Chains A and B, each alone.
Chain A
Amino acid sequence: AQTVTQSQPEMSVQEAETVTLSCTYDTSESDYYLFWYKQPPSRQMILVIRQEAYKQQNATENRFSVNFQKAAKSFSLKISDSQLGDAAMYFCAYRSGTGTASKLTFGTGTRLQVTL
Chain B
Amino acid sequence: DAGVIQSPRHEVTEMGQEVTLRCKPISGHNSLFWYRQTMMRGLELLIYFNNNVPIDDSGMPEDRFSAKMPNASFSTLKIQPSEPRDSAVYFCASSFYGARDQPQHFGDGTRLSIL
Contacts and interface: CB of A to CB of B under 8 A. Distances in A.
Contact of A97 (B93, B100, B111): B100
Interface in A11-63: 33, 35, 37, 42-47, 50, 52
Given A33-B101, A43-B89, A47-B103, A104 B45 contact: yes
B108 interface: yes
Contacts of A95: 104
B7 to A, nearest CB: 15
Contact of B109 (A43, A100, A103, A109): A43
Interface residues of B, number: 25
Contacts of A35: 103
Interface residues of A, number: 24
A46 to B, nearest CB: 8
A91 interface: yes
Contact of A103 (B33, B101, B103, B111): B33
B55 A47 contact: no
B50 A91 contact: no
A45 B56 contact: no
A103 B91 contact: no
A47 B101 contact: no
Q: Is the interface of B mostly helix, strand, loop or mixed?
A: strand
Contact of A100 (B55, B95, B104, B105): B55
A83 interface: no
A102 interface: yes
B42 A109 contact: yes
A101 B45 CA distance: 12
22 contacts: A33-B101, A33-B103, A37-B106, A43-B111, A44-B106, A44-B108, A45-B93, A47-B103, A50-B103, A52-B101, A95-B104, A100-B55, A100-B97, A101-B56, A102-B31, A102-B48, A103-B33, A103-B48, A104-B33, A104-B104, A106-B42, A109-B43
Considering the complex of A and B, which 9 residue pairs feature the smallest CB-CB distances, nearest first?
A45-B106, A106-B43, A103-B45, A108-B42, A47-B103, A43-B109, A100-B55, A103-B48, A44-B108
Interface of A: 33, 35, 37, 42-47, 50, 52, 91, 95, 97, 100-109
